[in-house]
A and B are shown apart, each in its own frame.
Chain A
Amino acid sequence: MVIKHDENLKVKKYTPDLFEPSNQDAIKREQIMRPEQSFWQDAWNRLKKNKAAFLGLLIIAGVILLAIFGPYMNSHGYDEQDLTRTNLPPKIPVLENISFLGVDGKDIRNVDQYASKNVDEFFWFGTDELGRDLWTRVWQGTRISLYIAFLAATIDLIIGVAYGAISSFYGGRLDTLMQRIIEVLVGIPGLIVNILLILILKPGILSITLAMVIVGWIGMARIVRAQILKLKGQEYVLASKTLGASNQRLIWKHLIPNTFGPIIVVTTFTIPGAIFTEALLSFIGLGLQPPVASLGTIVNDSYKLLRIYPHGMIVSSIIISLIMISFNLLGDGLRDAFDPKMRK
């Protein structure tokens, strides 16, 4: 045998009083080892720990604020044309002195356009080919893009959750029927439907939103259905049933709250999807019509000037990419934060 008495035992002296029974009269009652934390706190803490997702959240907050207040931060209107100041590169006070930032009003041939066109105002993002202030336009466009995206995401959410929840909760023939419909719809390529619908409805904020929603809700409906089907078999739902819970109670107290995680994640991913689709439609000529502008139409317009005046394209694509990246990072973070596997 390898195991030997602890060598200390022989050396170390123990006093007899140590060997009195401890007499713990009643052994301590059940204790909890984990800290008190609700589901949401827990998810929030996880999200905060995810630096990328948190950064995404901050950027989104910043972009939303700028989309709301940005257009009022200078005196130019978004469709205020002035042909004496066309295609001005960005020029920002103070920062103009730092040459590598390229916001000193010089274009790619290093000509100070402000000087040559005799403009003494500052255009932070420059101007477009009609002399419109790009700062105002870009944030106005962001506002519209975000508006379309949130609107589409909200409608997707409402239809998707309702459809998925009804289909899975009532099950049986209704479910089969509703699933057949989805099976058919899911085969229809989204962009094709978008194009056809916008051809009928003519491009506009509502028609673009509607076109995206018409197939967009399917994803949400499937997720919600899958989640509720899974939850329906969970023992706490059965327990509630055996206690005599009404359907309302089952849906609102048990099923929907436990579907929040996936719903939020899907919605977070819907928003960049919608922004992108809108931009794509602009690019193939089905975007919003002037004077209304979205990020997509601004990117499209400035793309045409890319080779001579790249500033418009650079600014607008940075912002659209930034929004997309932030939402994607946030979505990833939320998915990890809500993942039940991480939570045990």
Chain B
Amino acid sequence: MDNILQVKNLHVSFDTYAGEVQAVRGVSFDLKAGETLAIVGESGSGKSVTSKSLVRLNPPDSTRVKNGEILFEGKNILNITEQEMRKIRGADIAMIFQDPMTALNPTMTIGKQIAESIRKHTSMGGAKVKERVIELLQMVGIKDAEIRIKQYPHQFSGGMRQRIVIAMALACEPKIIIADEPTTALDVSIQAQILELLKHIQQQMGLSIVFITHDLGVVAKMADRVAVMYAGKIIEIGLVDEVFYKTTHPYTKGLLAAMPRPNMMSDELYSIPGSPPDLLNLPQGDAFAERNKQALKIDFLEEPPLFQISDTHFAATWLLHELAPKTAPLENKSVNPIPSNHALEKDRIAKGNLILVKGLKQYFKLDKHNTVKAVDDISFNIYKGEIFGLVGESGCGKSTTGRSLIKLNEMTEGEVIIDGKDIRKVKSKKELLEFNRKVQMIFQDPYSSLNPRMKVADIIAEGLDIHQLNLGQRQEKVYELLETVGLNKEHANRYPHEFSGGQRQRIGIARALAVEPDFIIADEPISALDVSIQAQIVNLLKKLQKEKGLTYLFIAHDLSMVKYISDRIGVMYRGKIVEMASSEELYGNPIHPYTKSLLSALPLPDPLLERERKRIIFDDKSHEGRNRENEILREVREGHFVMCTEQEYEEYKKNLEVVAH
């Protein structure tokens, strides 16, 4: 295959008021015609900057390309004039951006926005342009294109907008598409649709795609080749199978190990310790050395070059040097068999319910005519010492449920009994304080969950102050809590903005633990964090649960994480729980069509599997179309509940029996 694009030794820096940020430090790769190259890395790894450099889209006044070449059709993109560059942008190399909500001009019709690049790069005019726009919209799967070209972006949903962005990129039939996290802002099932669309179009048009992402699952689904970036460098690059199955660099290994898989049975996730380095002052030697358990002495002195492993596979680690010790594979320390889930479950059931929710409804009145049924009649229970996962896509009501349980919302209807007490009857000040000690919450956004004006010690001790606990030993207690969540004493006098996202989340956990609650609602506690940090937080939560005998309600949209952490799971869809079972059972035998589609849409970090998987499509309309009148949650099998009509119930039961025999 021919190389269509070659990047050689690219160095890009940003000038900030704190100093020079070395975002990209010597990146080289090439892109072959018709292939998809995924560049994967965590935030701050330089993947986005690299991709924007390919068409010189980084902000010109603060960016400096210090070194390097980007060869496209014999020209060095970094040297050509802006005019020549403009001829390439949109025509030969097009981009798809992360957030479809902001990537479209809100005050221009989508038709005009798509037509812009056609008019710019071709001699087409008038009616022909319109025809082409309609054709493009149809190609990306937008119906009624003739009408919709006159509409504005806000009249489309997120997934639709991303399709429009794709249509825009395809307008002049480019040779290369650079997709910068094109599905990160979307829900799993929409993500799956967009990925399939991209793949389909790529095959049709013979495009090359540079696909930037942080999600190894998406990589496995999309990529032919993968480049893994860390701290501005490519640390491993190779064919997708090589990188996933012959993983060489300890960082890549760590990333893969940090992702839970549905068939995984260990009780602790592998996690990469520490946080990524500060690009303002990089350490000497390998930037990853400090987090690398297998680091050699030389790692702290000199950066490793890219060593060749096969024709196509390279990795930058001293472990590949001939003098390096032959290492054991990454310690897979906790393969020790965990006690059978079933037994544990019996155990828990014996302990009884901590939480019982019956017919919870949470409606929000918008105005006289409109009410949003955020949570619409759901019932479930959580046993003592259990982790109950609540999973669903954005807007399904899972977070609202969590907030209703902790009385942040005034319940519309229903009964919630926590440890034998109906929380609606908790009214007096004393009772409320008691309730607040028993039930605590961990929040999603590590940036907004800590008051920027308070010192960490005061944040953590807020519960102590309110409940007047540990009087006289406030400081000791704060230190103890900091230790518990893996931080140091010295952090107590700092302010939140001085910490990284993962560290902030730990502070939030310490704050919740301070009042020694029995029940913790964790509302998407890891969704704002990088993969390697996610594993740290999940491990911490699991450890705490074991040590302190806590009960969790774990709310998330990431199914593999929920599956990994939870004992039982409820799947929410449009304000209702549509399926509820133990996590093994739910993943092994999903019954409700929505659960099935959700599971099948989830990209897994396993390329071989991804190639074979077929997505199950949940047809919302035909599902709703059938008679759903007496639909309730029915127990199809012991502990496995599905939202279904009587007729469906019989069907499901029959199917289960067939499988069993």
Contacts and interface: CB of A to CB of B under 8 A. Distances in A.
Interface string A22-39: 101001111111111111
A37 B488 CA distance: 18
Interface stretch (B102-110, B496-504, B544-552, B632-640): B496-504
B441 A22 contact: no
A10 to B, nearest CB: 11
A19 B312 contact: no
A19 B297 contact: yes
Contact of B495 (A16, A33, A39, A245): A39
A21 B406 contact: no
A33 B406 CA distance: 35
Given A30-B486, A236-B451, A239-B441, A244 B466 contact: yes
Given A3-B314, A14-B321, A19-B318, A36 B494 contact: yes
Contacts of B289: 22
Contacts of A111: none
A2 interface: yes
Interface in B502-517: 503, 506, 508, 511-512, 515
B30 to A, nearest CB: 6
Interface string A238-261: 111111111001000110011000
Contacts of A239: 441, 443, 449, 462, 508, 511-512
A321 interface: no
A254 B497 CA distance: 16
A6 B9 CA distance: 12
Contacts of A258: 451-453
A244 B452 contact: no
A19 B305 contact: no
B323 A30 contact: no
Interface string B306-342: 1110011010001001011100000000000000000
A14 B406 CA distance: 61
Nearest to B277: A33
Interface stretch (B55-63, B431-439, B619-627): B431-439
A29 B488 contact: yes
A11 to B, nearest CB: 12
Given A27-B274, A30-B486, A235 B466 contact: no
A36 B301 contact: no
A3 B440 CA distance: 53
Contacts of B466: 243-246, 249
B305 A9 contact: yes
A244 B321 contact: no
A30 B275 contact: yes
A25 to B, nearest CB: 10
A3 B306 contact: yes
Nearest to A26: B273
Contacts of B43: none
A236 B459 CA distance: 9
Contact of B295 (A17, A22, A30): A22
A253 B454 contact: yes
Given A36-B498, A242-B440, A244-B432, A30 B318 contact: no
Nearest to B281: A33
B404 interface: no
A289 interface: no
A242 B437 contact: no
Interface string B151-183: 000000000000000000000000000000000
A340 to B, nearest CB: 8
Contacts of A34: 497-498
B508 A37 contact: no
A201 B547 CA distance: 72
Interface residues of A, number: 48
A343 interface: yes
Contacts of B305: 5-6, 8-9
Given A3-B28, A18-B296, A39-B495, A28 B274 contact: yes
A97 interface: no
Nearest to B536: A30
B408 interface: yes
A1 interface: yes
B498 A27 contact: no
Contacts of A35: 498
A236 B296 contact: no
A74 interface: no
Max count, chain A CB within 10 A of own CB: residue among B8, B273, B278: B273
Given A18-B323, A19-B325, A21-B325, A236 B449 contact: yes
B545 to A, nearest CB: 19
A19 B324 contact: yes
Classify chain B: how many residues form its interface, as a range. 35 or more
B298 interface: yes
A27 B272 CA distance: 10
A30 B28 contact: no
Contacts of A3: 28-29, 237, 306, 308, 314
Contacts of A21: 294-297, 325
A121 interface: no
B441 A238 contact: yes
Contacts of A253: 451, 454
Contact of A242 (B291, B311, B439, B491): B439
Max count, chain A CB within 10 A of own CB: residue among B325, B454, B487: B454
Contact of A241 (B408, B433, B493): B408
A197 B476 CA distance: 60
Contact of B462 (A32, A39, A245): A245
Interface string B400-431: 00010010100000000000000000000000
B303 to A, nearest CB: 10
A234 interface: yes
Contact of A236 (B8, B450, B498, B506): B450
A20 interface: yes
Contacts of A18: 296-298, 301, 323
Nearest to A20: B297
A22 B498 contact: no
A14 B323 contact: yes
Given A238-B443, A243-B440, A243-B462, 17 more contacts: A2-B28, A5-B307, A6-B306, A22-B289, A22-B295, A29-B487, A30-B486, A32-B503, A36-B494, A37-B495, A39-B453, A236-B449, A236-B450, A238-B403, A238-B441, A243-B467, A244-B433
Counting from the closest, the 10 A-B pairs by CB-CB distance are A244-B436, A6-B305, A235-B449, A235-B443, A18-B298, A34-B498, A236-B451, A257-B453, A19-B323, A243-B463
25 contacts: A2-B8, A5-B307, A6-B306, A8-B305, A9-B305, A14-B323, A17-B297, A21-B294, A24-B293, A27-B274, A27-B290, A27-B293, A30-B486, A30-B491, A30-B503, A32-B499, A33-B498, A239-B508, A242-B406, A243-B463, A244-B437, A249-B466, A258-B451, A258-B452, A344-B497
Interface of A: 1-3, 5-6, 8-9, 14, 16-22, 24, 27-39, 234-236, 238-246, 249, 253-254, 257-258, 343-344
